Amino acid sequence: MPSLKDLRNRIAATKATQKITKAMQMVAASKLRRAQATAEAARPYASRMDTVLGNIAASVAALDNAPRLLRGTGSDQRHLLLVCTAERGLCGPFNSAIVRLARERAAALAAEGKEVKFFCVGRKGYDQLRRTFPRQIVEMVDLRSVRALHFEHAEGIAEKIVALFDKSEFDVCTLFFSRFRSVIAQVPTAQQIIPPVFEQKSTDALGGAIYEFEPEAEDILNDLLPRNLAVQIFHALLENAASFYGAQMSAMDNATRNAGDMIRRQTLFYNRTRQAMITKELIEIISGAEAL
């Protein structure tokens, strides 16, 4: 049977852990608020960009010389999965959920005889994917040292992807991230970014009118498509950041509650043991006195 001192130490240790998880929860909550605001502020830009590009794409789709980034290579044999995860853990199933979605997609594609490669953003996803697909990871971007996420980071990633595309390393690129719906709901999402898929593809909205381009359509698209890529990635990273803090907050909230339960159980056990010891000592004293 453990001594009373051991029990006291155990309770103290649990309390210390609870303090840490509680603090982490509060930090996550305050960071979440900011991350959520940024993510929500970035949504209109990303969605408008999508609409505008969709409109332009619909009006130049007929052209044969549409840029490759827009129309794709014409094949869907080789896939690049861009998996965005967090740099840190202690956030419940956040990272695993994204990785699982990517892994399922990879398995489905492999079953169809397609070639699959990975581009990891974030260390956690890399660590998990490395185990299953050690040879298929082409790139890995680490944002651990980044304190505040800026558009430039997304631009850097987009440049690398465009470079890979120009070298004809892949035909289709899909982005995996976690969409932030609420503090308790983060939805792992897959979005195809090369060639881009637009939600609405109607030229009817224009009433059959054709856009005038200044400068030429080709120049604009050549400028716009890489930028769109960066915008979509930036958007994904911001959603991810908000989701991460949301997930971490609920995970740490759970941990704090569990620690509370554990402390109650341990205290009960401690008191019981103490009582038993006192009773035992009393019995020893009384029976000793009676023996005299």
Partner 1 sequence: MAGLHFEFVSPENVLFSGDVDQVDLPGIEGDLGVLPGHAPMVTTLRPGVVTIIREGRREAVVVVGGFAEMGPAGLMVLADRAEAREDFDLQSLASDIKDAEEDVADCTDDAQRDKLVRRLDQLRALQAALAH
- Taking contact as CB under 8 A, which single stretch among the options 15-23, 167-175, 176-184, 201-209 is the one that binds partner 1? 201-209
Strands 78-84 and 172-180: parallel
95 in Cβ contact with 89 (< 8 Å): yes
77 in Cβ contact with 171 (< 8 Å): yes
Structure tokens at 195: 């060639």
Question: Residue 32's closest CA among 251, 241, 179, 255?
Answer: 241
How far is 223 from 257, CA to CA, in rounded Å? 51
Which one among 20, 67, 110, 213 touches partner 1, defined by CB under 8 A?
213
How many CB atoms within 10 Å of residue 19?
Answer: 12
233 in Cβ contact with 192 (< 8 Å): no
Work out whether 48 is an interface residue with partner 1 (CB under 8 A): yes
Residues comprising the chain, all counted: 292
Instruction: Find the shortest distance in angstroms from Cβ 42 to partner 1.
Output: 6
Three-class secondary structure of residue 100 per DSSP:
helix
Which one among 214, 288, 289, 290 touches partner 1, defined by CB under 8 A?
214
How far is 98 from 83, CA to CA, in rounded Å? 8
Instruction: Find the shortest distance in angstroms from Cβ 56 to partner 1.
Output: 6
- Taking contact as CB under 8 A, which single stretch among the options 26-34, 118-126, 213-221, 255-263 is the one that binds partner 1? 213-221
Work out whether 212 is an interface residue with partner 1 (CB under 8 A): yes
Number of residues that bind partner 1 (CB under 8 A): 29
Work out whether 215 is an interface residue with partner 1 (CB under 8 A): yes
Instruction: Find the shortest distance in angstroms from Cβ 79 to partner 1.
Output: 28
Work out whether 234 is an interface residue with partner 1 (CB under 8 A): yes
Between residues 58 and 194, which has the closer beta carbon with respect to partner 1? 58
Q: Binders of partner 1 among 131-170, rule CB under 8 A?
A: 151
- Taking contact as CB under 8 A, which single stretch among the options 14-22, 194-202, 208-216, 284-292 is the one that binds partner 1? 208-216
Q: At what angle do helices 123-132 and 94-111 cross, to 10 degrees?
A: 40
Which one among 4, 9, 23, 45 touches partner 1, defined by CB under 8 A?
45
91 in Cβ contact with 244 (< 8 Å): yes
Q: Tell me the residue type at 33.
A: R
How far separated are the first and last CA of the chain, in Å rounded? 31
Work out whether 63 is an interface residue with partner 1 (CB under 8 A): no
How far is 70 from 51, CA to CA, in rounded Å? 14
How far is 217 from 219, CA to CA, in rounded Å? 6
Between residues 42 and 255, which has the closer beta carbon with respect to partner 1? 42
Structure tokens at 269: 């056990």
- Taking contact as CB under 8 A, which single stretch among the options 17-25, 47-55, 103-111, 194-202 is the one that binds partner 1? 47-55
- Taking contact as CB under 8 A, which single stretch among the options 35-43, 89-97, 156-164, 263-271 is the one that binds partner 1? 35-43
Active site residue 91: yes
Phi first, then psi: what are they for 182, rounded to 5°?
Answer: -155, 180
Work out whether 206 is an interface residue with partner 1 (CB under 8 A): yes
Which one among 28, 56, 109, 229 touches partner 1, defined by CB under 8 A?
56
- Which residue ranges make up the site for partner 1 (CB under 8 A)? 38, 41-42, 44-45, 48-49, 51-52, 55-56, 151, 205-207, 209-215, 217, 219-220, 223-224, 231, 234
Catalytic machinery residues: 91
